Amino acid sequence: PWRPRHILVTGGAGFIGANFVHWVAQHHPETHMTVLDLLTYAGKRESLEGVPNNQLTFVRGDICDAALVESLASPTGGMVGRGVPPVDAIVHFAAESHNDNAIADATPFLRTNVLGTHVLLEAARRHDLRFHHISTDEVYGDLPLPGESPDPDTDPSRATRFTEESPYRPSSPYAASKAAADHLVRAWHRTYGLRTTISNCSNNYGPYQHVEKYIPRQITNILCGRRPRLYGDGRAIRDWIHVADHCSAVWAILTRGAIGETYIVGADGERSNLEVLGGILQVMGRPADDFEHVTDRPGADRRYALAATKLKRDLQWHPEHTDFARGLEETIRWYADHESWWRGDKEGTERRYLRQGH
Ligand code: NAD
Ligand code: TDX
């Protein structure tokens, strides 16, 4: 089977990107990686500590910088020639990723998620690189909660879980920017024959996730002596997957996926926000009602649920970290043990939330 010899990993200092770089280092030590990351508020060089130096080149820079991207993607650019083979694939994680930030100001989301994806696609086209695009289930909009009437513009005949055939109907500015990027990738395959694949994954959890996201925010609130903050009624459902399972799925699709195809990535992890919070409070020895109710996002998505049937059937991928209680406990322990990793982000993040009423 085909194996990439040198991957350009965009956003490799972010949550999922860093987990992917560690995963590849562990499972495929023969593959070189160049990480291109702007180190925005969401990225940290430290998250890549422990990856062998001879397997990793780190470049701080912007995916919207066409000259820089060209220099890294070209067969004579970057580290190439110093014992490193030319880049043969781009795995594209870089994005503005947080819904609350997009609701406050979508400008950086359109720039990075849409224009940045275009810059990378053009470089991949010039050099005929394999291109894997990381996307989200949020492009499909949401599903009604069981027993709750669907909102008026929802088609009640829709399937009960998202599949690769679900229509695009993003509800939020972030989701709309990711949907736009997905459409560019599909068009570059159809029009120019670029060798692309797309994965649309559900909510990830695990180590190195920014404290603005739901699970790390609640864990670090408790570690700081603050109460967790639950949006709205807490009945919204997310389909949780451990980040390590997302990483193995990306590798399966990159190396064995059919060109031009989209794969849904999910691990049958549907849980309400209230249930997840209950688990965190229990593990951390707090009373079950020790949290605040705060205002929900405008237009908040109610339920995500994914059927990863195609990925399992065609590529024989299976999630391994399916014991959510255990994964949550390990994640709580990781944040307790890595306070220096997140402490510097906590105050600023909570100040931002206070301004947004969350
Ligand atoms: P993250 O916010 O933790 O990391 C994003 C990384 O991209 C950061 O390191 C940041 O510095 C970098 N970056 C941002 N703008 C950049 C630019 N212009 N140039 C170069 N680098 C830039 O995000 P994440 O949660 O790791 O998500 C990674 C990808 O996975 C995103 O494309 C996201 O849409 C997708 N995704 C995330 C989830 C999830 O649950 N977190 C689920 C499905 C899909
Ligand atoms: O403090 C909080 N309290 C709360 O109840 C926060 C930050 C969130 N929530 C709720 C909102 C959502 O229903 O928890 C749920 C999850 O929120 P986020 O962690 O912000 O994730 P979500 O909006 O579902 O998006 C995530 O999954 C899909 C990632 O951030 C996206 O990048 C990915 O595409």
**∠ Cα 134 137 143 (to 5°):** 175
Q: What is the per-residue DSSP string for 198-251?
A: EEEE--EESTT--TTSHHHHHHHHHHTTPPPEEETTS--EEE-EEHHHHHHHHH
Average the pLDDT over 133-150 and give the result: 91
Residue whose CB lies within 8 A of the most ligand 1 atoms, among 40, 44, 60, for a mutation test: 40
Contact 8, 72 (CB under 8 A): yes
Residue 107 CB contacts under 8 Å (≥ 6 apart), including other chains: none
Instruction: Give the residue among 91, 80, 98 at the shortest CA–CA distance from 132.
Output: 91
Residue 156 pLDDT > 80, yes or no? no
Residue range 183-209, pLDDT digits in tens: 999 999 999 999 999 999 999 999 999
95 lines ligand 2 (CB under 6 A): no
Residue 153 pLDDT > 70, yes or no? no
CATH number for region 6-210+241-269+300-323:
3.40.50.720
Residue range 280-306, pLDDT digits in tens: 999 999 999 999 999 999 999 999 999
Return the pLDDT at 152.
46
Nearest protein Cα to ligand 2, atom 30: 98
Residue range 228-287, pLDDT digits in tens: 999 999 999 999 999 999 999 999 999 999 999 999 999 999 999 999 999 999 999 999
Return the pLDDT at 148.
80
What are 214's two structure tokens?
Answer: 């739901």
Q: How many residues does the chain have?
A: 358
User: Which numbered ligand comes closest to the C-alpha of 243?
Assistant: 1
Residue 211 pLDDT > 60, yes or no? yes
The H helix count followed by the E strand count for the chain is 12, 13
- Ligand 1 atom with minimal separation from the 208 CA: 3
Residue range 39-90, pLDDT digits in tens: 999 999 999 999 999 999 999 999 999 999 999 999 987 777 778 999 999 9
pLDDT band for 146, please (50, 70, 90 cuts): confident
242 lines ligand 2 (CB under 6 A): no
Distance CA 78, CA 58 (A): 10
| Ligand 1, pocket residues at CB < 6 Å | 10-11, 13-17, 36-40, 42-43, 62-64, 93-97, 112, 116, 134, 136, 178, 201, 203-204, 210
For 23, other C-beta atoms within 10 Å of its C-beta total 18
229 lines ligand 2 (CB under 6 A): yes
Distance CA 280, CA 272 (A): 13
User: Which numbered ligand comes closest to the C-alpha of 235?
Assistant: 2
**∠ Cα 67 68 70 (to 5°):** 65
Taking the domains of the chain in order of start, what are their residue ranges? 6-210+241-269+300-323
ipTM computed for the complex: 0.99
Average the pLDDT over 20-28 and give the result: 98
